[in-house]
Amino acid sequence: MANFENILGIETSCDETAAAIVVAGKTIRSSVVSSQIDIHARYGGVVPEIASRAHVELLTPVVAQAVVEAGIENEEVDAVAATYGPGLIGSLLVGVSAAKALSLVWDVPYVAVNHLEGHLYASFLEEPELELPLVVLLVSGGHTQLIHMKGHGDYDVLGSTLDDAAGEAFDKVARYLGLGYPGGPAIDALAMEGDPEAISFPRAMRNDGLDFSFSGLKTSVVNHVRKNPDVDAADVAASFQEAVADVLVAKARRAVKQVGATGLAIGGGVAANSRLREAVLDACTEDGLQAFLPSRAMCTDNAAMIAAAGWHRLHSDGPSRIDQGAESSVRL
């Protein structure tokens, strides 16, 4: 098989329009992320129809910028990888169609990438020597999963959320507290000024299995604020964040022990959370585990992680068929 060097990654699964050039699944030559946050903020969340229209407008200049910043010519792109799911179907279609068109025009392979697999590969971009097997705590706006990464492309899902994803809980609580969208970074910032022990919010299923549940916690926050209208919002944010981090870390530690892994990595937008990062580091130090915390830019949606996962997919499975389309709800 050819040695696909320069992979163009394209990511449009939600509200970031992103493109990147990554060499051999490891070295980032460019990573451009154009966020649509300002477009959606006034609606308090992502509006799917507006997101797909914005991707149509933004994708061409974002791809061009990624190629220019990488210092290569279009002819030097060896393959095009795009997120095909999970995500918003209209948004996914924009990236997938563009990737297929470029692969046909440039006569290079197209590879369809699972967005969740992309998040798993974010750690490898910054720690190329990362050793498998590994447990990855994948926490984003749409997913909360504990994954046993046994080898490249070889995963067991050990636990998942039964209701809300961790990021969804951050976004819903932030909206209730009037902190706007996106909620995760807003709660993270406000929590810095609050007391994480001020309110003892419930830790659902903390000591029970590897699945998660966050909808009860969200309801508890709402009930607490209703009963105590003068409560300090910073204390609510810090106590809520503490409860989420506590459950995530307790389960991740249990998962690592259960499968006998030696390392724990985190990924997905919520992995950018300051308190979660601190708690993961503390737990790994205490348990003698290697901790892998991608930079914040690699935790949230980007195309470099898609290019990296695409490179591994190309080498394991070869190119995707050109009729491999977008799918809104694929699993890992």
Residues at the interface with ligand KG4 (CB under 6 A): 14, 140-142, 167, 170-171, 182-185, 188, 268-270, 272-273, 300-301
Our CB check for ligand KG4 shows the closer of 142 and 310 to be 142
- Asked if 204 and 247 touch (Cβ cutoff 8 Å), the reply is yes
Least distance in Å: CB of 295 to ligand KG4? 12
Nearer to ligand KG4, 35 or 262 (CB): 35
Binding characters for Zn ion, 88-127, by CB under 5 A (x = yes):
----------------------------------------
**Cβ atoms 87, 14 nearer than 8 A:** yes
And the tokens for 96? 């997938």
Question: Which option in ligand KG4, Zn ion, none does residue 142 bind, with CB closer than 5 to 8 A by kind?
Answer: ligand KG4
Residue 301 Cβ vs ligand KG4, minimum distance, rounded to whole Å? 4
Q: How far apart are CA 238 and CA 254, in angstroms?
A: 24
Minimum CB separation from ligand KG4 for residue 179, in Å? Answer: 10
Residue 197 C-alpha from the chain's centroid: 28
| Contact of residue 294 among Zn ion, ligand KG4, none (CB under 5-8 Å per partner type) | none
What is the SS3 assignment for 214? coil
Query: Of 20-28, 33-41, 188-196, 293-301, which part binds Zn ion (CB under 5 A)?
Result: 293-301
Q: At what angle do helices 115-126 and 304-317 cross, to 10 degrees?
A: 100
Burial of 310 (0-12, 13-18, 19+ CB in 10 A): buried
Decide whether 119 or 312 has the Cβ nearer to Zn ion.
119
Nearer to ligand KG4, 74 or 219 (CB): 219
CA distance 17 to 34: 5
Sequence-ordered list of residues with C-beta below 8 angstroms from that of 117, at least 6 positions apart, any chain? 153, 309, 313, 332
Sites for Zn ion among residues 164-193 (CB under 5 A):
none
Cβ–Cβ under 8 Å, residues 82 and 298 = no
- The answer to whether the beta carbons of residues 76 and 30 sit under 8 Å apart is no
DSSP code string of 153-196: TEEEEEEEBSSS-HHHHHHHHHHHTT--SSHHHHHHHHHTTS-T
Q: Are 40 and 112 in contact (CB under 8 A)?
A: no
- Between 77 and 308, CB nearer to ligand KG4: 308
Nearer to ligand KG4, 106 or 176 (CB): 176
Q: Is 52 in the site for Zn ion (CB under 5 A)?
A: no
Nearer to ligand KG4, 79 or 139 (CB): 139
Smallest distance, ligand KG4 to C-beta of residue 14, A: 6
Closest separation in Å from C-beta 158 to ligand KG4: 19
> From residue 131 to residue 150, what is the string marking binding to Zn ion with x (rule CB under 5 A)?
---------x----------
Contact partner at residue 247 from Zn ion, ligand KG4, none, CB < 5 to 8 Å by partner kind? none
> Which residues are near Zn ion by CB under 5 A?
140, 301
